[in-house]
Amino acid sequence: MTQADAALADASSPALGDLPGRDQGNGDQAGVSTRGRILDVALDLFTDQGFDGTSIREIAGRLRISKPAIYHHFASKEEILLALHMRQHELGRAALARLTGQTITPDIWGSALNDLLDQMAGQRKLFLMHQRNQAALEKLHRKDHDDEHNDFQQQLAQALADPSLSLRDRIRMACALGAVFGGMFMAGDAFDNVSSAELACLVQDAVRDLLTDRSA
C-alpha cells in the first residue's frame, strides 16, 4: 500500500465505529479516544508483523501507556482483534442498510456496491490485516461474533434469492458482489502498488460490466 493510502486508512478508521468500550456509557470521552488509539496502533502492528508476533506490551509501548491501561479497555489481545474485525462488519452493514425496505434491482445493487467500494478503499489496511491474519481470525468463536456473521450472510442470501428478480439478474448480482470482495479483499498484496482510488475505480468498472444487461 502507498504511504498516501496508509494515511487515508489511518485517518478514517475511527469513523467506522467499534464495539462498545468498557468505559462507554459513563461519559468518559478520553477513555473512548484511548480505545480508538489502541485499535489503530494494533491495526498497524497486526498488519506489519502479524497477530501472533505482536504483544500487548508492544501495543502499550507504542502508545506510551501501561499494560493495565490496555486491559481497562480490552480483556485480551484476542478482544482487540475481534474489535478490529467488527469494523469490517460495519462496512457490510452500511451497504445492506441501503437495500432494506425496497425492491432490489441490479441498479440499486450496483449503487450499494459502489458505496461499499468507497468505504473499502479507505480501509485497505483493515482488509490487508484480515488477509494476513486468517488463522488467528478463524479462532474467534464468540456467540455475538458468529451471530453477526450469520445475520450478514442471511441478509445477502435473502436479497439474492428474491423471486421477483430473474435468475440472470441474481447471478449477475452475486458475481458483482464477488468482484468487490475479490478485488478489494481476497487479492491481498496482489495490488499493493495500485492506489486506493485507482483500484476502486477499476473494480467499479468490473461491477458495472457484470451488472450491465447486454442482452437487452
Give pLDDT, residue 28: 44
Give the number of C-alpha atoms closer than 13 A to the C-alpha of residue 115, restricted to the C-beta side. 15
**What distance in Å separates the CA atoms of residue 86 and residue 213, rounded to the nearest whole number?**
35
Any domain includes 2? no
Give pLDDT, residue 147: 65
pLDDT at 110 over 50: yes
**Is the domain of 141 the same as that of 49?**
no
The model's pLDDT over 138-147, given as tens digits with 9 standing for 90+, comes to 887 665 666 6
**Is the domain of 47 the same as that of 153?**
no
Number of C-beta neighbours around residue 98 at 10 A? 16
The model's pLDDT over 131-190, given as tens digits with 9 standing for 90+, comes to 899 999 988 766 566 666 666 777 778 888 888 899 999 999 999 999 998 998 887 778
**Banded pLDDT at 65 (limits 50, 70, 90):** very high
Residues 74 and 38: beta-carbon distance below 8 Å? yes
Any domain includes 55? yes
Last residue of a domain, one of 77, 99, 133: 77
Domain that holds residue 141: 86-211
Distance from chain centroid for Cα 163: 29
Give pLDDT, residue 216: 59
**What distance in Å separates the CA atoms of residue 20 and residue 197, rounded to the nearest whole number?**
31
**What distance in Å separates the CA atoms of residue 2 and residue 186, rounded to the nearest whole number?**
18
The model's pLDDT over 8-51, given as tens digits with 9 standing for 90+, comes to 333 333 333 343 333 333 444 454 489 999 999 999 999 999 99
Mean per-residue pLDDT, 113-136: 89
Give pLDDT, residue 59: 97
The model's pLDDT over 1-10, given as tens digits with 9 standing for 90+, comes to 443 344 333 3
**Banded pLDDT at 55 (limits 50, 70, 90):** very high
Give pLDDT, residue 71: 96
Look at the chain and report how many structural domains it folds into. 2
Any domain includes 32? yes
Question: Average per-residue pLDDT in the chain?
Answer: 81
C-alpha cell at 18: 467499534
**What distance in Å separates the CA atoms of residue 70 and residue 36, rounded to the nearest whole number?**
11
**Is the domain of 22 the same as that of 105?**
no
C-alpha cell at 177: 458482489
